[in-house]
Amino acid sequence: MAGETRSRGPRAVRRDARPRRRITYGKPADDPSLLISGIGRAEAMAYRDARGQAMTDPDWSEIECRLRRAYRSLKAAVAVGGS
């Protein structure tokens, strides 16, 4: 997946995940709250991929913050229930 993110970008990978989100979370594939979370996760991967072997501790902290934000968003979206 990391190579996919690098070559196609976070938004393209996000579109590919739509059917899985519908099945996994019981929400419409284009639910905005799920899209926001997915974009956040893909952008964290792209951030990591862009730095490669040059990753530093502050970079890892940035990724952690991005992922925590994305998963808080996902948790809130799923807690609302299916549409």
How does pLDDT run across 58-67, given as a tens digit for each residue? Answer: 999 999 999 9
Residue 77 has pLDDT above 70, yes or no: yes
Supply the pTM of this predicted model.
0.69
Mean pLDDT computed over every residue of the chain:
80
Tens of pLDDT, residue by residue over 9-45, are 655 555 566 667 667 778 877 788 888 888 899 999 9
Residue 52 has pLDDT above 90, yes or no: yes
Residue ranges per structural domain of the chain: 2-79
CB 43 within 8 A of CB 10: yes
User: How high is the pLDDT of residue 44?
Assistant: 95
